[in-house]
Amino acid sequence: MITPYRLHYAPDNASVIIRLVLEDLGAPYETVLLERSKQAHAAPAYLALNPGGLIPTLETPEGAIFETGAILLWLADRHGRLAPAPDSAARGDFLKWLFYLANTVHTALRMTFYPEKYVGPDANAQHRLRTEMQARFASHLDILETRAAPWFALESASVLDYYLACLMRWRALYPEGWRGDYDARAWPRLHSLLTQLETRAPTRTIAAAEGLGANPFTAPDYCDPPEGSAT
């Protein structure tokens, strides 16, 4: 690697969370496009790095890391920013919300994207699962709005901010035709965070790099990347 990190990415996939954090940390990195339309994430060379074939993977001088939450935690600890230090009194509280986002909130959203992976080909079962998981996603946002403060505030910037902002972006966009009555303004504290994030240089840089538009979190639209595709 020419730079310390190489990020295997696809536009507007979970890799965008890592890319935003790398920009915020000011860490030099390269990107390697995974062309999803050509199933590049299932190629043997990629599976050698990430046996699950999911996006993202971050190559580091110490080896490849996959799983979004693990990469975020590793980067924050390595660079000493965007998370409480391991010996901080706030560390436990931070960790519970990081794992809540990775294991609970993100999982509910993913089930709305790929219901066939969970309930098979039956269209009615897929519809029921999507409906249930979207309701559950809203309940997760209720919890974050009321119980996760003060994490989601400008004065306590952390990797949690970027993770949640991307999840809320995707809820508004995917799957197509399933937005329903979702409106991020229903969660005022979280919506304020989205607004603040859009003013930060990392967001502007990555929005331009991946074609996410001028307001990728408060008024999201489908990405128009200069290379590759989101799906």
Q: For 135-163, how does the pLDDT look when each residue is reduced to its tens digit (9 = 90+)? A: 999 999 999 999 998 898 767 789 999 99
Rounded CA-CA distance 91/130 in Å is: 34
Q: What are phi and psi of 130, to 5 degrees?
A: -60, -45
Task: CATH number for 91-199: choose from 3.10.100.10, 3.30.300.100, 1.20.1050.10, 2.60.40.420.
Answer: 1.20.1050.10
- The 10s digit of each residue's pLDDT in 76-105 is 999 999 999 999 999 999 999 999 999 999
Mean pLDDT across 15-44: 94
Determine phi and psi for 55, rounding to 5 degrees: -115, 130
Terminal Cα-to-Cα distance of the chain (whole angstroms) = 27
